[in-house]
Amino acid sequence: MTTRRAGRDNSVAPSTIEWAVSNASIDYPDAVRSMQERAARIADGSVAEVVWLLEHPPVYTAGTSARDAELLEQSRFPVHRTGRGGRLTYHGPGQRIVYVMLDLKRHGGDVRAFVGRLERWVIAALAEMGVAGETRSDRVGVWVRRPDKGVDVEDKIAAIGLRVTRWVSLHGLSLNVDPDLSHYSGIVPCGIAGHGVTSLADLGAGHSMEVVDNALRRHFEQLFGPTRDAPEPSAAHEAIIAQ
């Protein structure tokens, strides 16, 4: 990842970040369309930044670095090519998807540092829930040690994949709360062989999605600033506002 720093833009005034939660499962293409609409308006300065929490029906998504050989079962779930960074991953019920649409000019303007803050955010929330998450210099995301499986065994609990357009971030992270982990067997997750995938439930730290959301919000605000409740950013809603 190439690190860039945005120039200072004093015309952009800070504002409270919106916090939206979708209770119904959202199809992946619909979510991407809504996210793109919202990010474009954030870049224009016409709407607030937003963090959007949701779940998807079972789907594999392929980032810009994905390789065909990493899709092991092509007919298992729909596969969507997407503009985020990273490789193949799985999304599905029991996984908290967090789409982070933030103006990076307001958050340091350094893409690599921004990814590091996302990792620290997840690690802090996990710690509140009794799980010790860690980062690795050669692997993006959040990992947990698994001494119950053997010496030096690590599993991934949260994946991070971003796209930055006009200095606004799209996509974000996925945190495994209680998904069906067997669905990861259809891919090489994030292109990393030799490591497993885990969840809060798998680690014996079962929590409701509401508990997870509350922990995420508390620690997000400590790192990024205050939030306010807001409706989910649907494409239809964005179109109405734009009229």
Is 181:197 a contact under the CB 8 Å cutoff?
yes
Q: What is the DSSP track for 110-160?
A: BHHHHHHHHHHHHHHHHHHTT---EEETTEEEEEEE-TTT-TT-EEEEEEE
Assigned token pair, 8: 């200072």
Establish whether 98 is a catalytic residue.
no
Q: Which of 42, 126, 190, 216 is catalytic?
A: 190
Question: Catalytic amino acids?
Answer: 190
